[in-house]
Structure 1
Amino acid sequence: MKKTFYLIILLNIFLSINLFAAKNLYLSYKKVPNQAYKNQKIEVIVKALITTNNFDTLSTSFSDSSNASVLNPNSPWRKVSNDTYENSYYFKIKQGNFRLPNISVKLLSNGSTIDVSDLSSPTLRYSDIGTGDTRFSGIIADKFVLKAYKTKQYNNKEALTIIDVDAQNSNLEDFKLQGISEQGVSNIKDDGGTQNLVYYFVTPIYEKKVVFTYYNLATKSFKDVKIPLILQNELVSTQTDLNPNDSNFEKYKKIFSIVIFVLFLILLLVKRNKILMALTLVAFIVALLYNLPNSKGIVKKDSYIYILPTKNSTIFFKVDSDQKIEILQRKNGFIKVLGLDNDFIGWIKEDSFETN
């Protein structure tokens, strides 16, 4: 009888210790939007308060979602203070009866779980916008910038336009112009909250502009975007080339490499040691590589210029004579080229290229 009594006491003590053990991980939502729209990409920021230093990493899992997908489930946690970590998760809302997932986070040490904390799905209002707007492009964004546009004659009856767009907290992958049958994505890049889209579309040659709308989340209103359809042979000076060599990033990279080389060279002239000599040589090679001009060559007569580096890509146009070009990029058996005489940009097959 005494043994049974002692066992009951020990069991109660054990359960009490586990019940009142100090918790090491506390989760909360730092940012949750109040409202969501169809096809919108929303950001949810999760905050983790950790009361121990004896851990290696945080592991996140998602469950019980509906009509909402996690775009970056493996996003790393970032430390914002000694005991606080945050993570920004992006979700794509597909339709009205959606449910964001429950979020579970484990605190791990050497593969073992120290603590687990859960967050239940937040509740958001839903609106399906732009259904009656024939000009709505499907884009919902904090910011939308038309960086560049270029229009060329496609055939005797049609013109082809390429646009370059930047947007923040957007869904550029859903971009579509209503009433235009031939259109598509040339390239899209996604860097967290910032996206870049290069898009093409074909219109009747007599059309002078295309107007579409997007929904601005900052102002909670629809904004018009106007694209003048100015053929290159009409007014070239008003158009902006979609040339990656003209980007600010490329220019800054070239300038920065030269500045670093000059700094190392000055230090070498002052101090004269082997380490500085090696660093100066490396900086010189890097600066030289960044600032070397692109290779040049010829696109042979009757070659096709394509919109995309793919077999089924739309043909931009056919060159009627040998064209001098500058090589911008190589991909999938295609070469992206810049026409030096006629100022065009497009993709050619490698067998259409020959050196001078």
Structure 2
Amino acid sequence: MKYILFIILLIQTIFANNDFVKEELPVFQQDPHILLRTQPQDNQFNNSLNYLNEKEVEVIPTSKNLYLSYIEFPKNIYKNQRFEIVLKALITTDEFDTIQTRFVDSKNMNVLNPEQPWMAVDKNSFENRFFFKAYEEDFILPTFQVLLYKNEQLVDLAYLKPKEIRFSKLAKGDNSFSNIIAKDLIINTYKTKQYNNKELLTILDIDATYSNLEDFYLKEFSKDQGISSIEDEYPKQHILYYVVAPIHKKELSFTYFNTTLNRFNTVSIPLKLEDELVSTQTDLNPNNSNFELYKKIALLVVLLLFLILFIWKRRYIYLIVVLILTIVSIIYLMPNKNLIVKKGSLVYILPTNKSTIFYEFKNNRKVEVLTQKNEYIKIMFTDSNLNKIIGWVKEDSFGKN
């Protein structure tokens, strides 16, 4: 009986081991998508960036159908500078329909166009241009991974390690430096207007190539400055920039680093008031402008003339005209209406949705209503420094008196 039980137990053990062997596969025969972790196990294609660990990449077997190399690679870069790296992919197979790029183990830097598609140069060659910005000296460029897919299945992979690159900081402690590193920078036009009793508002229209205009900043001026709009079609960039300066300031000057000449260029413009005023100051108070004053005088003169005619001629038609002109004069000469603007309301330079916001009410504030344009109302109020400020607010900014 003991022998029979021993034989049965031995047979069960043998069959159990055979089943285990059938389920076990060599590591290189496993699904490569699971090893790479570039796709979920349900084989759904994933376009999102998946930053892998470089140590894992080194042990992944790849075929010899994909070769990567550098076409352009900078030797020196500066802090916050946009720089370009051009890659070439030589693909010796037609068994793919998608090329995907990923970036491994970068530090203190950004890839500005990670989804940039590869462009075919000829049947087997492809090129791609990636733009980067590095922020600190201890930055690390990414290792490039390029993956080939066929019908949403990974068929090949290669990676390319970065070359050494030198990093420098420009104009340390120089308040005139605008943070801009560009091949070229041009001030297309500029306008300076009176902002309030003590300050000027200057608008700059700037074009630049191979630059970082998004970092433009004038350290010598107040915090009341910023980018009103930006158009970024790299390598070309365009911004509208506003800055508030003291009224005694006669010149706006800044420097940028010209990468073509490898030197700092100085840009200077005079802060000279123009005859025409910006929207925040145009017809500051319609009741106080010269043109409005002339209209009021003309209205009163006409009223007086018809009153004299009525007294002289005693005709009722003149009396009717006098009454109409009197009513118009009363309405026209009435002072501006005062309303309460709600806390948190925003004041715009222009009566448009894309206009720059230059003031926010921290509390409810009584303001003088000047005029209206569409859904925006022009107001005048006094700030904490007793400066009179003009701007535009939306209709829904008003509360109860």
Offset, 1:220 = 0.6
Aligned counterpart in structure 2 of residue 113 of structure 1, from 154, 158, 162: 154
Question: Partner letter of residue 351 of structure 1?
Answer: E
**Matches of 1:204 and 1:21, distance apart in 2:** 64
Counterpart position of 2:273? 231
Question: Residue 306 of structure 1 contacts residue 315 of structure 1 at CA under 8 Å; is this kept in 2?
Answer: no
Counterpart position of 2:316? none
Offset, 1:178 = 1.4
Q: Which has the larger share of strand?
A: 1
Deviations 1:93-126 (A, max 9, x none): 1011111101100011111122111011221111
Aligned counterpart in structure 1 of residue 74 of structure 2, from 20, 25, 33: 33
Q: SS where residue 136 of structure 2 aligns?
A: coil
Superposition pairs of residues 74-223 of structure 1, within 5 angstroms: 74-181=115-222, 182-223=224-265
1:49 maps onto 2:90 in alignment:
yes
Question: Partner letter of residue 228 of structure 2?
Answer: S
**Matches of 1:109 and 1:58, distance apart in 2:** 9
**Matches of 1:159 and 1:170, distance apart in 2:** 28
Query: What stretches of structure 2 of length at least 5 have no aligned partner?
Result: 1-25, 30-60, 279-335, 340-346, 361-366, 378-389, 397-401
Deviations 1:8-35 (A, max 9, x none): xxx9xx9xxxxx9962211111111110
Identity of aligned residues (%): 42
Question: Residue 257 of structure 2 contacts residue 265 of structure 2 at CA under 8 Å; is this kept in 1?
Answer: yes
Question: Residue 158 of structure 1 contacts residue 205 of structure 1 at CA under 8 Å; is this kept in 2?
Answer: yes
**Matches of 2:181 and 2:188, distance apart in 1:** 18
Q: SS where residue 357 of structure 2 aligns?
A: coil
Offset, 1:37 = 0.6
TM-score under structure 2 normalisation? Answer: 0.57
Summarize the Cα distance change of 1:28–1:301 in structure 2 as closer, same or farther, 3 Å threshold: farther
**Matches of 1:129 and 1:206, distance apart in 2:** 30
Question: Residue 251 of structure 2 contacts residue 271 of structure 2 at CA under 8 Å; is this kept in 1?
Answer: yes
Summarize the Cα distance change of 1:107–1:221 in structure 2 as closer, same or farther, 3 Å threshold: same
Question: Residue 309 of structure 1 contacts residue 334 of structure 1 at CA under 8 Å; is this kept in 2?
Answer: no
**Matches of 2:376 and 2:370, distance apart in 1:** 20
Query: What stretches of structure 1 of length at least 5 have no aligned partner?
Result: 1-10, 15-19, 237-299, 328-332, 336-345
Deviations 1:238-290 (A, max 9, x none): xxxxxxxxxxxxxxxxxxxxxxxxxxxxxxxxxxxxxxxxxxxxxxxxxxxxx
CA RMSD in angstroms, aligned pairs only = 3.5
Question: Partner letter of residue 164 of structure 2?
Answer: T
TM-score under structure 1 normalisation? Answer: 0.63
Count matched residues.
254
**Matches of 1:235 and 1:313, distance apart in 2:** 18
Offset, 1:146 = 1.1
Aligned counterpart in structure 1 of residue 357 of structure 2, from 305, 308, 313: 313
Question: Residue 228 of structure 2 contacts residue 356 of structure 2 at CA under 8 Å; is this kept in 1?
Answer: no
Deviations 1:153-209 (A, max 9, x none): 001111000111111221112111112112112112222322221111111112221
